[in-house]
């Protein structure tokens, strides 16, 4: 199920609540992320030049991300929100200044694949839970589909803890690093979907 729309808002809210309930559960998180590399994100589905919010969600015991443009992630009628949310299923394999060297991108992806269970435990111990959402700027991205890989990068604030990352790979093999996991939020009010859970 790639970039599916028109799933009821009740299902979206329940899936976000399911993630919220698991954010501090080490064993469940490790199970959900086991063998998952990331998801596909078609930037052409969203307004150009506007950031995308990607919310992790659990539906039918499967890991997804719900993506919505920052411009649409505002207090609105349920029908408007529903029309602008996309379900992105996490997969075992992916197709194929913001641009980062291949070596660094591949290292971040490998760090996730090799150490995500340890990272989950450490993050929960130090911060109580893992992220609620990702902020994905689209400046410099083309209107095309990107493979989005789970990754880890060094924390600027804490040398003892890596931070969650998403590394985007274009169809021509370029890697991009524009993403911020949250919390902490730069502006929590821009994440209206969180108010629904």
Kindly list the domain boundaries of the chain, sorted by start residue: 9-196
pTM for this model (two decimals): 0.90
Of 120, 126, 146, nearest to 65 by C-alpha is: 146
CA separation for the pair 92, 112 (Å, rounded):
14
Residue 185 to residues 78, 86, 188, Cα–Cα distance (Å): 24, 22, 5
pLDDT at 1 over 50: no
Taking only the tens place, the pLDDT of each residue in 96-138 is 446 788 999 999 999 999 999 999 999 999 889 999 999 999 9
Among 1-15, 103-117, 163-177, which is the least confidently predicted range?
1-15
Helix (H, G, I), strand (E, B) or coil at 176: strand
- What's the confidence (pLDDT) of residue 5? 59
């Amino acid at each position: 199920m790639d970039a599916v729309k028109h799933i009821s808002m009740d299902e979206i809210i329940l899936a976000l609540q399911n993630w919220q309930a698991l954010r501090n559960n080490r064993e469940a998180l490790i199970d959900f992320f086991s063998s998952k590399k990331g998801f596909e994100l078609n930037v052409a589905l969203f307004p150009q030049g506007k950031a995308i919010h990607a919310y992790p969600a659990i539906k039918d015991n499967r890991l997804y991300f719900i993506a919505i443009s920052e411009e649409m992630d505002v207090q609105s009628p349920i029908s408007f929100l529903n029309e602008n949310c996309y379900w992105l299923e996490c997969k075992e394999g992916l197709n194929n200044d913001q641009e980062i060297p291949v070596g660094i991108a591949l290292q971040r992806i490998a760090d996730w694949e090799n150490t995500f269970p340890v990272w989950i435990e450490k993050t929960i111990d130090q911060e109580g839970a893992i992220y609620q959402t990702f902020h994905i700027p689209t400046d410099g991205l083309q209107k095309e589909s990107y493979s989005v890989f789970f990754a880890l990068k060094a924390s600027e604030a804490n040398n003892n803890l890596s931070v969650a990352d998403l590394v985007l790979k274009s169809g021509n093999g370029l890697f991009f690093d524009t993403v911020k996991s949250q919390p902490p939020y730069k502006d929590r009010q821009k994440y209206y979907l969180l108010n629904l859970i």
